[in-house]
Amino acid sequence: MPPPPLDVKNLSVHYHLQDEPALSAIDYRAEAGKLTAIIGPNGAGKSTFLKAVMGLIPSTSEKIEAFGKPVATQKDKIAYMPQRSSVDWDFPVSALDVATMGLYGKIGLLRPVRKKHKDEARGYLDQVGMADYADRQIGQLSGGQQQRVFLARTLAQNPSLYFMDEPLAGVDIATEKIIISILEQLKKDGKTILVVHHDLQSVGSFFDNALLLNKVKISEGPVKKVLTPSNLSIAYKSPVIANVG
């Protein structure tokens, strides 16, 4: 059996100057070719989990491996889509420039962006319905359009494993539809996708698996098995009903 796309053992994160750990002793194996939602209440450590796995914040662990090797050596096979709030929207770049950034790894250090790269990036913008906005400065797009441009950048990396931090947060219906259909297409292509998701109501209709967190791992597996009333009341510390689809 090939090694899992993501294999995490005993991962803990302790932020500087905070008493409580943000995440404790998380064990998790991602199932290949599945669309998995990372869910849990605000402050549960969902984004922290992805950031720690990517090595963006300090953490302790016995193992963080992708495809059987340390994540740090596999970054060309992984794409990370940060939360939309993480950039300066007044920055002088166009939607096309941002999508092209997904190709930088392939272009290589010190090598210039050529026309063929821009044409390729334009293709990814087209996939998310943003080709007509290619030359627009990034701040002049709506929130949903910005999110689609970020998705185009992620697609341009053409990875085997996707980490997405709240791609569906605060987007319009059109954007949600486009993002969901692309996630489904990626799944058909055999990609493994982990998505931080905040909306319990839609988990069942969009995702195969779920990882339920609140500082510790509460449950993982198929959505129906994870989103039980007892698991949810442990995670949310109050009764919650989810639509398991």
Partner 1 sequence: MWDDFLHVLMFQAAHNTNMVLTSTIFLGAAGGMIGSFIYLRKRAMLTDTLSHATLPGVALGFIVAVLLDLNDGRHLPTLLAGAALTALLGGLCVQWIKSKTRLNEDVAIGSVLSVFYGGGIVLLSAIQRMEAGSKAGLETFLLGQVSGLSQSETQLIMLVSVVVIIAACALFKEFRLICFDEIYARAGTMPVLKLDMALLALMIVVVCIGLKTVGLVLIVALMIIPAVTARFWTDDTAKLVVIAALCGALSCYIGASLSASLPNLPAGAMIVLTAFSFFTFSFFLAPKRGLLSSSLRSHHA
Write out the binding residues for partner 1, residues 7-26 only, by CB under 8 A. 17
Nearer to partner 1, 111 or 237 (CB): 111
Q: Does the footprint of partner 1 cover residue 92 (CB under 8 A)?
A: yes
Among 31, 32, 34, 93, binds partner 1 (CB under 8 A): 93
Contacts with partner 1, 194-223, as mask; x by CB under 8 A: ------------------------------
Write out the binding residues for partner 1, residues 47-86 only, by CB under 8 A. 54-56, 75-76, 78, 80, 82, 86
The DSSP element (H or E) to which 88 belongs, if any, is: none
CA dist., res. 148 & res. 203, Å (int):
20
At 49, phi and psi to the nearest 5? -60, -50
Among 88, 188, 238, 239, binds partner 1 (CB under 8 A): 88
Residue 35: what residue type?
A: L
At 210, phi and psi to the nearest 5? -140, 150
Q: Does the footprint of partner 1 cover residue 91 (CB under 8 A)?
A: yes
Cβ 85 to partner 1, closest distance in Å? 11
CA dist., res. 43 & res. 214, Å (int):
8
Binding-site size for partner 1 (CB under 8 A) equals 30
Among 12, 24, 137, 202, binds partner 1 (CB under 8 A): 137
CA dist., res. 72 & res. 49, Å (int):
15
Q: Count Cβ atoms below 10 Å from residue 241 Cβ, excluding itself.
A: 10
102 within 8 A of 154, measured Cβ to Cβ: yes
Q: Does the footprint of partner 1 cover residue 41 (CB under 8 A)?
A: no
Q: Does the footprint of partner 1 cover residue 87 (CB under 8 A)?
A: yes
| Residue 241 three-state SS | coil
User: Which among 47, 61, 53 has a CA at the least distance from the CA of 78?
Assistant: 53
Q: Which residues bind partner 1 (CB under 8 A)?
A: 17, 54-56, 75-76, 78, 80, 82, 86-88, 91-94, 97-98, 101, 104-105, 107, 109-113, 137, 153, 157
